[in-house]
Structure 1
């Protein structure tokens, strides 16, 4: 079993034992090792879903569907679209609680709990409402639901303390039973039945077509002759070959043609065809290059991965996969010992995408701290302290970070 799968199993065990945040961190590490690990991507999405982070969950599942064609992820994307309304209802309930309209809030929260989305927050507020109403057994029920998922949840622990203090219920014992949520159970069953690794067929780049010379010239024999006897060579624009590659969507070959001919003097028809080639690269190639780049990383073909991921970034700036491509570029460069480029892309990810997608933020901070260690200790400490401050319970808060901070 590879390391990524072992980490997935460890994450699942952590979740079952009530340590959801640790499970999320381990999933992240598993994904960073193997972007093709659909199980880890789906699990992390589900755990964030339980915590109420609908946007990040859907981004992860969308990534898994586009990258791995995972049918479980596709189902989650479809089902979760109905939770947008539940999030709106939840926000209304919180506002009602602040206005001390407990009964109205309870009605809405009980509708919110019909799915597992935002389960932790919904059950925390339900327990708080029932404590205010003096319905301590019902409050205890919802406290237990939260602690089953997250033993360290501060709100649930505070509600537990409040329950004992004001509920005249010192005989009540809070029992935390490590039971998996229905949604996780169904996830594993479905995964075992239908999951099949999706293997992208990578198109093989073809060599650019070299047109026939207008005149055959023997350079060796004519080298010392009068220049007027030499007929210069001229390369013809490969119109039919480019049109053929556009029709077959051979993105690597199209890219090579565009790179070669975009700055050359062309006729109107040639410029028009090259424009179509550029359009198809902008509209359709980025996801292919991203998938191909990730596949090369998994196969440890880092040079090819860099080439593909750079192309994904060039033609996918506003697409869902763009932050992932930036992060994967950093990994690829790091594995080729190009520290300067690795720092550039880790920094780019950490600066630009941490608020949009949080999949790799902890890892990026950790990597930046380690990479700067022997280059700029002040920057190394900056990223180490930021990691500890923003993610105090992160698995990356290890001895390496401690040494850097105390140096």
Structure 2
């Protein structure tokens, strides 16, 4: 059966959605200028270098690869993105960005914010009410799958952009299909999220229409004609090659707009850098559910376990948000730490000898910190399976065999 039919089958099991509204950086990639991450947009003489650490292919190297892009080309890229975003955006509609604080949705928020503010539409009868008939806000869905670190980052980026941020609880955690984590969790999660975002937008539109009751009837009829919702997400061209992203089907079902779907992740980072976004070179930050292997229940306890473990690993190893670091929960509750190979192969820490000479500095640091005991005694893991190189993507992949049987 086709993927779409399988997704619809999963959708039929979704429960009703509750629409509730309302240290110094250490390990960086060599490309990161720590003093310019939060600086103003690049000048014409600057060169942006984007670094990636890994590939979806298991045979590829995790050695950092640089993709230089001149500031002039970055400017042209941003101009092209602004043009594309402006064509999608309606200043009279309720424009809502599915915002996570990651670099993709942050760039979209910056683009839509700029495009929206390029429109200056005022009412002759009462220009003080508003310059536009529509609205704009970034919405962050809050659940156990979103770490506190990510929430803080989202707030910081929204403040940098100057866009209104609304934090809304989402209810995918109570959905049995999501909890089973059998390959459809991403689709279920995004369906809940986009439904909630639509509800937020409808609430805002209702409030604005009530505010404009003081306008004359002719103007009110014009406003009613623009009573629409436009949702945006940060899907880029690279995302569309990932077969595990069933959330893309949910986005299609809700007709979500994707201003970045024609550019790569490297171009996303270059554009974000040019616009001065503080997270332009931060490592990918998918939801905590992506750390759970297929079949490991997506419960708040399991999600909290990987969040606590990852926070501990970053603190012990003194690594910054630009480095990929994951704590996976595999079958049987086994914890596995994943790190960029550039960190695992760092020889500057091999200053010990004797029986420990064959032990990596990462394994040694975790052992001395009591990481394994904390995993078992404090966070709810059953065992610790060691350290391995990071590979991008979810460990709860799409259940291809199950799809074929349907």
TM-score band by shorter chain is under 0.3
TM-score (norm 2): 0.26
Q: Which has the larger radius of gyration?
A: 1
The higher relative CO (CA closer than 8 Å, separation ≥ 6) is in 2
Taking structure 1 as the reference length, what is the TM-score of the superposition?
0.26
Higher percent of residues as strand: 2
Higher helix fraction: Structure 1 or Structure 2?
A: 1
